[in-house]
């Protein structure tokens, strides 16, 4: 009788330990990775880049803005897939849609047309990429996971190139913005804010503040 009791107790203990292990795995998938904030912001920002880039490719008046938008779709679409693969290997669950502010910006830009749209979109791209360069540079230098750090470092030159193209394109259509100044490298070191600068709530916005596009009207 005593032997059966000991065997039963051992079985219960084993089940509890297995259960704890399962909970731990689930928690990691829900976002206990040390670089989870970067994962979240990069994923939501990447989706926003593709969505707004497609909008620019479809409705921009300037061919330069159309081309820039298509470049965003291509490059960020590729980066988004790489991030998904990396997240899967790390056991991290990524968000599946843009955050609220990016959606609001998308809605606002959809109501603009012609040169007004072009200037508002490019103004956002200047601000956005300046912040992104800073965030990816910081992750590449200070991230906790080596694979995530390597991906950020590999993606950073593309973001810097986007910023340079955004400067050139903005000059062509007459955008005047404080974010026009400086080189991509300078942007990365000067702006120490995060991609969305609001913590871990759903209110982060890689695409910047929607109000800024109203200033360009």
Reduced to 3 states, what is the DSSP secondary structure of residue 24?
Answer: helix
The pLDDT of residue 79 is above 50 = yes
Architecture of domain 36-215: Up-down Bundle (1.20)
pLDDT of residue 176: 81
Higher-confidence residue: 51 or 202? 51
Give the C-alpha separation, 158 to 85, whole Å. 19
In whole angstroms, give the CA distance from residue 49 to residue 72: 6
pTM, 2 dp: 0.71
Looking at residue 31, its pLDDT comes to 53
Q: How far is CA 62 from the centre of its chain?
A: 26
pLDDT tops 60 at residue 186: no
């Amino acid at each position: 009788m005593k032997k059966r009791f000991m065997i039963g107790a051992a079985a219960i203990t084993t089940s509890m330990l297995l259960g704890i292990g399962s909970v731990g795995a689930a928690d990691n998938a829900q976002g206990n990775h040390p670089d989870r904030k970067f994962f979240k912001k990069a994923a939501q920002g990447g989706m926003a880049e593709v969505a707004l880039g497609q909008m620019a490719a479809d409705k921009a008046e300037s061919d330069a803005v159309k081309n820039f938008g298509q470049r965003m779709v291509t490059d960020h679409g590729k980066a988004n897939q790489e991030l998904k693969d990396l997240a899967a290997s790390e056991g991290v669950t990524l968000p599946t849609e843009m955050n609220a502010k990016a959606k609001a910006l998308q809605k606002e830009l959809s109501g603009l047309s012609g040169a007004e749209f072009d200037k508002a979109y490019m103004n956002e791209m200047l601000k956005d990429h300046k912040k992104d360069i800073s965030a990816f540079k910081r992750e590449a230098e200070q991230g906790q996971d080596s694979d995530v750090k390597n991906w950020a470092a590999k993606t950073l030159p593309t973001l810097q190139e986007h910023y340079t193209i955004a400067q050139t394109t903005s000059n062509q259509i007459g955008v005047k913005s404080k974010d026009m100044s400086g080189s991509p490298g300078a942007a990365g070191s000067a702006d120490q804010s995060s991609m969305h600068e609001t913590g871990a709530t759903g209110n982060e916005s890689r695409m910047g503040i929607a109000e800024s596009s109203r200033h360009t009207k």
